[in-house]
A and B are shown apart, each in its own frame.
Chain A
Amino acid sequence: MTAAVLLCVFLAFPLTAPAPAPVIETQHYDPDTLFEYINGAAEAYLALDFQELTVLEWKSGTRTLRTAEVYRMRDAARAWGIYARERPGAGALLPVGAEGYAEEGTLNFLLGPHYVKMAGARPGDDEAKALLAWAKELASDLGGDPSLPDPLACFPSKGRVPRSERFTARQFLGLSFLEEAWSAEYRSEGKEFKAALMKSRRTSRDAALIAWARSAGTVLPEEGDGPRFFLDPRLGEVAAQVRGDRLAAVIGAADPKAASRLLAVLLACGEE
């Protein structure tokens, strides 16, 4: 995706407001300069391997009428990660890109490695319609696979809290050795718990699990194929299991048998 393509889309899109003719300004940011644009919020994007941001501003005089921020992340999983982190827990989803939503004069959508955030200066329904039309144009020009990442399908729908799915590249659950984690919240009989499926580039699964238990004050045997259980005083009861290069975990579940069943489902997902 080049800035030139984005600019063409921007210029081609009709603005509903009348003359004087608007002026388009573009800005570009990379991992070194993202702080200059979004300040401390850049940390969350950098933690998901942000690559490049193109900002399009539609201005009249000194007034910005509409903006589109096109964030390109390292891959679709990471774009999903930042999108899901900011997505509201309720409200209508929009058929733009892989998925989108509108909120408070803004419209955000996801498409492949791109996370696009758009905003209009003027509130109201007309502006919302104009933003959606522009978003569709932009999505069409960005191109790419309009489907959601595959690992999301690993999480069973029964009891899953809607839109609780997340992707965390590093420091999952605030623990430095857990990474590449897909997760979702569940609710069963009034009790909430979290399920996660992790990958790691640096350590074997078992090493990550043993480090986790150790940090929680428990010593686990080095070997073990089945589900293993320990109490993490910071997070609650943990059930975890390693298979191949994956670590599945259920955190905070009251019933060990139900947790084991969920672990089996997670680990079976995607296997040949």
Chain B
Amino acid sequence: MSPDSLDRRRFLKSAAAGALCAAAPDLAVKNPETGKRPVITRPLGKTGLTLPVVSMGVMNADNPALVTAALDAGIVHFDTAHRYQGGRNEEMLGQVFKGRPRHSIVVATKVPPTLSLSQDADAVPDEEPSRTRTVEDFMARLDTSLKRLKMEHVDILYLHNVSSRETALHPFFLEALERAKKSGRTRLVGLSTHKNEPEVLSAAVESKFYEVVLVAYNFKQDHVLQVRDGIAKAAAAGLGIVGMKTFAGGWLDKERTMPVNTKAALKWVLKDPHVHTVIPGFTTFDQLEEDLAVMADPVLSTEEEKDLRLAAAEPGLYCQGCESCLAGCSRHLPLPELMRSYMYVYGYRNPGRAREVVGALGLPDDPCAGCAGCSARCARGFDLRARVRDIARLASVPEEFLA
């Protein structure tokens, strides 16, 4: 069992208990459009905005009717990006929002932090990036996004996909964001992160500049405790916190046979009172209905909590190939290849492919024979020895038996 797994389990427990005691600053208001479902809202840090706890991540949606249905149901905050669908995603939103009162919607987009070289084609290729060019290119991309959205400003402009302190605090990008805000092209500035989140959250606080952070946060993250702490500190500093990747990919296994209880996963994130809204990326009307139910009642049921605990404990079959196991194996076995073969058999039900891989490794039927104890440790919690013994014998099984 890895320390991270233990952390995650402990967190699931403490979050569930804590949520019973913590008074989240939720407000329940009747949906003025439908008059039916209550909408739970939270203030977005100190930004002055108050949002329903469920927003829409539009990235994978290309159906204007679905966005319209979300709007009509009381969702007001829509998250897109300059790059989504090559810009078509912003265009689709622009079409849907046309004619709606601008103050009735909260639009967030993201522009990538790209360092630009000089425009001079003869310049040396490894030259330093140009400050002027970088800022101008950033502004040009933002203007393209605004044109696609048919808007003069967005409500939140994120620096897209930031994974280091260096990028978060890079003076070229800070200058570009500041210029965007001063010129009225955005009301708020922020950054999005789904890698090294704790470091990026910390940099956002340190900057005293960013107002919103869009952060990956879910019950399956290996480093969920650190992310939670980073979020708490950022929220304490007044930043608005928007959660993404809340479904942890939507599946417990890479073979997509075991779906995540998405409703429970969403509620789990919203149990953290420092998360102000989340942006699930629904693409069907059924999924929208599920998310709307969470918007009205984000409290985890006992059954849902149980589901998530089981899911968090499920190591699955997928070997990430991190190779952290290799150092511990006294036989120097190719453990990632063997784990992948195991997945072929028990996940993909493709023993023929597994036999090919195992056969090419040239191992004995029991590569662990004579080894007193297994000192190799898997970051995902796989029982390495048991899986190696199970899969290695496949090499000696005649091919025709596997057809």
> 0/1 per residue, B103-124, Cβ < 8 Å to A?
0000000000000111101111
Q: Which of B88, B125, B286 is A85 in contact with, Cβ under 8 Å?
A: B88
Interface residues of B in 112-141 (CB under 8 A from A): 116-119, 121-126, 137, 141
Closest Cβ neighbor of A172 among chain B residues: B63
A221 at the interface (CB under 8 A from B): no
Question: Does chain B have a CB within 8 A of A35?
Answer: yes
The smallest beta-carbon distance between A170 and chain B, in angstroms, is 9
Give A160 to B256 CA distance when docked, in angstroms. Answer: 38
Q: How far is the CB of A20 from chain B (nearest CB, A)?
A: 7
| Complex Cα–Cα for A88 and B126 (A) | 32
- Stretch of A120-128, A141-149, A239-247, A255-263 on the interface side: A120-128
Nearest opposing residue in chain B for A235, CB measure: B65
Which residues of A126-145 have CB atoms within 8 Å of chain B's CB atoms?
A: 126-127
Interchain pairs with CB closer than 8 A, number = 100
Tell me which residues from 267 to 312 in chain B have a Cβ below 8 Å from any Cβ of chain A: 281, 283-286, 288
Taking CB atoms, residues of chain B closer than 8 Å to A20 are 125-126
B residues near A89, Cβ cutoff 8 Å = 88, 91
Indicate if B60 sits at the interface (CB-CB under 8 A): yes
Q: Are A173 and B87 in contact (CB under 8 A)?
A: no
Contact assessment for B63 and A122 in the assembled complex, using a CB-CB cutoff below 8 Å: no
Q: Does A203 contact B (CB under 8 A)?
A: no
Residue in chain A with minimal CB distance to B255: A32
Pick from A39, A85, A123: contact of B62, CB under 8 Å: A85
- Known contacts A43-B60, A104-B141; is A88 also within 8 Å of B88 by CB? yes
User: Chain B residues with Cβ under 8 A from A126's Cβ?
Assistant: 121
Question: Known interface pairs A20-B125, A40-B60, A234-B65. Does A86 touch B283 (Cβ–Cβ under 8 Å)?
Answer: no
Asked if B59 lies at the interface with its beta carbon under 8 angstroms from chain A, I say yes
User: What is the interface size of chain A, counting residues whose CB is below 8 A from a CB of the partner?
Assistant: 41
Which residues of A sit under 8 angstroms from B57, Cβ to Cβ? 40
Chain B proximity of A180: nearest CB distance (Å)? 16
Whether A35 contacts B62 by the Cβ 8 Å rule is: no
Asked if B194 is an interface residue, CB under 8 A from chain A, the answer is yes
B66 at the A interface (CB under 8 A): yes
* CB-contact partner of B285 in A16, A44, A124, A234, under 8 A: A234
A236 CA / B63 CA spacing, docked (Å): 13
A174 close to chain B: CB less than 8 A: yes
Max chain A C-beta neighbours (<10 A), residue from B126, B137, B144, B244: B126
Q: Are B144 and A127 in contact (CB under 8 A)?
A: no
- Closest chain-B Cβ to A163's Cβ sits at a distance in Å of 10
User: Are B86's CB and A87's CB within 8 A?
Assistant: yes
Chain B interface (Cβ within 8 Å of chain A)?
57, 59-63, 65-66, 69, 83-88, 91, 116-119, 121-126, 137, 141, 144, 161, 194, 244-245, 249, 254, 281, 283-286, 288, 318
Q: Chain A: residues with CB nearer than 8 A to chain B? A: 16-18, 20, 22, 32, 35, 39-41, 43-44, 47, 60-61, 63, 65, 85-89, 103-104, 108, 121-124, 126-127, 166, 171, 173-176, 215, 234-236
Extra contacts, 20 of them, besides A85-B85, A88-B87 (Cβ < 8 A), are A16-B121, A18-B124, A22-B125, A43-B281, A60-B125, A60-B126, A61-B126, A85-B62, A86-B86, A87-B86, A104-B144, A121-B116, A122-B116, A123-B137, A124-B119, A174-B63, A174-B283, A174-B285, A174-B288, A175-B285
* Closest 7 A/B residue pairs (Cβ): A86-B86, A60-B125, A126-B121, A61-B126, A17-B125, A174-B66, A60-B126
